[in-house]
């Protein structure tokens, strides 16, 4: 039965139209199916654009040797899982404290306060203290060394540090060296890495 408009005529919008036959698309593959996941990755890689830069290897052997030395210097010491939850030898704060005190006395015995000199001296002292602490051989400990120089001008100062650590194995040492013109404070934090 035909539907007619107001005038009794059949309007073109009311005539039944036949849709052209279009091929039906297959269902999109799910990424949770094993075979489909590889196909999805291939499609994504096909659509992506890659910019590749090529670096030529050095022709000079000396440059190649420098690169090898540089890589070996940056290589980190890796530990195998030992499943140890405690160190073989616990950090001994008393022996470290006496050694750090000795270093501060040696390096700062005839030094006057100068902010330009102390900016470099604090770095040198921190490196020297770190080397001495590492010589004690506390395995699986990481150390943080902080050296502060404070000029004496009649002021008060508070130094605070906060850390999250294991109270049983982690420790710290604070050593103070005082002269007429300044106060040197060296802090060494020892953190055990399981």
Output DSSP code: residue 25: P
Residue 129 contacts residue 144 (beta carbons within 8 Å): no
Chain centre distance of CA 65:
28
pTM above 0.75, yes or no: no
Residues 40-63: tens digit of each pLDDT: 766 766 554 545 454 445 555 555
Tokens linked to 164: 């999250």
Element (H, E) at 149: strand 141-151
Residues 2-25: tens digit of each pLDDT: 555 555 555 555 555 555 566 666
Alpha carbon of 16 to those of 19, 37, 135, 140, 163: distances in Å? 10, 43, 93, 82, 78
């Amino acid at each position: 039965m035909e539907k007619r408009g107001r005038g009794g005529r059949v309007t073109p919008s009311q005539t039944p139209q036949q849709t052209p036959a279009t091929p039906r698309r297959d269902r999109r593959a799910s990424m949770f199916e094993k075979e489909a996941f590889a196909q999805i990755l291939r499609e994504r890689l096909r659509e992506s654009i890659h910019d590749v830069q090529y670096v030529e290897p050095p022709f000079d052997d000396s440059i190649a040797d420098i690169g090898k030395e540089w890589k070996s210097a940056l290589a980190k010491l890796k530990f195998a899982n030992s499943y140890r939850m405690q160190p073989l030898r616990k950090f001994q704060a008393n022996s470290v404290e006496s050694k750090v005190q000795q270093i501060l006395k040696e390096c700062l015995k005839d030094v006057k306060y100068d902010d330009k000199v102390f900016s470099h001296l604090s770095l040198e002292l921190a490196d020297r203290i770190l080397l001495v602490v590492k010589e004690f051989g506390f395995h699986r400990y990481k150390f943080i060394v902080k050296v502060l120089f404070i000029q004496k001008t009649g002021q008060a100062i508070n130094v605070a540090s906060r850390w999250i650590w294991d109270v049983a194995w982690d420790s710290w040492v604070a050593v103070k060296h005082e002269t007429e013109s300044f106060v040197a404070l060296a802090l060494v934090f020892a953190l055990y890495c399981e």
